[in-house]
Amino acid sequence: MGDRTPVANFPRFMRSQSMSALTKSSRSLGLTREPPWLHVRREPFEYGTLPIPSLMHSDVLASLMTLRGKLLSQAPPSLTSCTSSWSLSNTTNLVCAPSTPSVSEITRRVSITGIAAALELTEEYAQLILETLASTLNDEGTIVDRLASSLVNEIESVGADIDDLLLYLYLQTYRRAPSRPHRDASSVADVWPCTSAIDGILPASTLLKVRLAGVSRRLMPTQAEEEGHQLKYVRKHLRSLLTILSETNKEGLEVITPERFERLGFFLRAKNARMESVPLSQAAPLFAGADPHVPVLPVALTQVLEWVQHHLCAASESQWDTILTRDEKSLAKVRRMFPPGKIPSSQAEVNMMDVMTPSVLATSRDVQAPTAPDDALSSSKDWRPENLTFIDGVIRSSVSKGENDIKGGSVKVSYCQDSVVYVLAPLKYASVFGCSDSIVVLGAVGKAVRVEHCERVQIIVPTARICVANCRESIFYLGVNLRPLFTGDSLNLQVAPYNTFYPKLEAHLAQVGVDARINKWDCVLTLGLANLHDAFKRSAHAATSQIVGASLLPTDKFAMFTIPSWSIPDSDSMHHTSANPFILPQLYIAAVEQRSRAAETLKLNIKNAALEVDKERELVAAIHSHFRDWLYASGSIRQLYNSPTQE
């Protein structure tokens, strides 16, 4: 009965947006693809861009092809070993090539000195490029470049594969998804929903200046929009990326070998029908040889391009058809609730909304017919990121996450205000975005941490690498193996040595490859006036002012941070990290010991003082008052929020 109802009889907000139309549109665009699926890796885009102006070129492809020659002159050829010189069989086993290696089987790697000479940069910048590349290379699967799995003290000796380096340099043309335009006054103010616990501590002028610079989540692109933007970028530049990996054969045809096609894994990961990661060259039938003992021949670039375009999709696209089918059934159920001709008109929208399920309501009002697959997916309420755990929008609360709560090895803490967030788990990547007046304690992070658009936060993290961009009035307690990078429009930032521990910390450090014997917390590297990859509008002052970077936290302001027992899972109590594994500098040790001695002396003097009852009450009241002031001034008051509970 509902199937015969004309679409014109539906309320205004449902016309031309019915799920049947959306299903038809999505299928015509090829949303229901066959495996293998090629998903864009978010890590290079989120952790790999650097604001170095000399890396930006107007004609990027021609510049990189010229640069290849310079890099080759800096990199003497070396034959690959049996673990990396391989051919593919139709049984997907890796075997060593039995014959003399061809040109495509010769790996050329370039060192920091070679990168600096070819790019005409200082060795300091060349080292930063190499370290950033190492932190963003794909380290999943059976075919992994040596640099991706190297420890931080091995990066310089391993060097970069030239193809990987060229793809990374091409990535520097990426500009992030633009911010949304202002709509009303509430869009500007929504990042400050409540009074902060430390209001009144900072000078009023500083508070006003910082709050005006606050980041509104209504103006910032969502994670879905960011990843849709990344997918568009790869689609647009795919031919150029493949051209970088191609070579010309004797007939003058551009071809790609399976070894060099595998390098595209910097941007893409392949998933089979069971959603398992597989090497790119094994996923592509183009490179499947009939004889396992005969090396696979190169394939024409045009064929590779066509195959990648056909299988390239958003991470949630493999489930898109199921999502559409479910919502279409829900919409049909709503139709059957009304007899023909009795569908409520546009004047009765409120009543119609009352009877609709949340899923149908969200779809009918918010999801438009897609103009491209990534547009449809990024606007879907059923979109969810791949291998990423969100901790979002925590306000005046304490939240603790352990190993069992983290899926995929990556976490994003976003838009938390006046809160304490504990993520006591081993991680590959972690990002903190848009937080204010909060304390974020992260477990060991093996690849990279990025902190962006945060204000008056304390970040406590042991990691291999950290980048801080566009932050203000914040302190970073770091155990970091590589130089911390500060960039963007920053103000009043301080760094200090790592200052806490939890029972499984040493086990997590070993698991992700962070070395507690190396801590470069005070070797700050300040780069650029602004992030050239941001599409966000900036004030004239922010675009021209000199970046200050970060200063060292005075020793008299340093204190150890105690993680409360309620935030530590019971299963972790049997582990034995009982002290900070990162060695504190002597000046900070002396400051901590002096403060401890002063507290003991005060305690002893109070105990031995023979005071009258009234004087004793006055003293206790004064101590409580000073302690309360310290709780608010240091931000430690936030640790008392919801302390007996876990989310």
Pair of tokens at residue 438: 């909060």
Residue reference for tokens 């090497």: 279
Mode of pairing for the β-strands spanning 37-40 and 268-271? antiparallel
> Are the C-beta atoms of 423 and 443 separated by less than 8 Å?
yes
Q: What pLDDT does residue 140 have?
A: 85
> Are the C-beta atoms of 133 and 499 separated by less than 8 Å?
no
State the Cα–Cα distance between residues 640 and 255, nearest whole angstrom: 62
Mean pLDDT by 10 residues, the chain (647 residues): 42 41 41 76 94 78 92 71 36 35 59 94 95 94 89 93 96 79 46 42 40 60 87 95 94 92 94 86 80 77 95 67 42 48 41 34 35 44 70 92 90 94 96 96 97 96 96 97 93 96 95 96 83 47 56 94 81 74 95 83 76 76 75 65 49
> Minimal CA–CA distance to 52: which of 176, 173, 230?
173
> Are the C-beta atoms of 554 and 591 separated by less than 8 Å?
no
Strands (DSSP E) contained in 530-632 are: 550-552
Q: What pLDDT does residue 347 have?
A: 37
> Which phi and psi (to 5°) does residue 223 adopt?
-60, -40
CA distances from 515 to 147, 505, 525, 576 (A): 17, 12, 20, 18
Q: What pLDDT does residue 489 have?
A: 85
Strands (DSSP E) contained in 57-159 are: 78-79, 86-88, 94-96, 106-107, 109-110
> Are the C-beta atoms of 380 and 358 separated by less than 8 Å?
no
- With the C-alpha atoms ordered 332, 337, 343, 346, is the resulting torsion angle positive or negative? negative
Q: What are the residue ranges spanned by the domains of the chain?
A: 37-175+224-311, 387-647
Q: How far apart are the first and last CA of the chain?
A: 46
> Minimal CA–CA distance to 87: which of 268, 247, 291?
291
387-647 adopts what CATH topology? Pectate Lyase C-like (2.160.20)
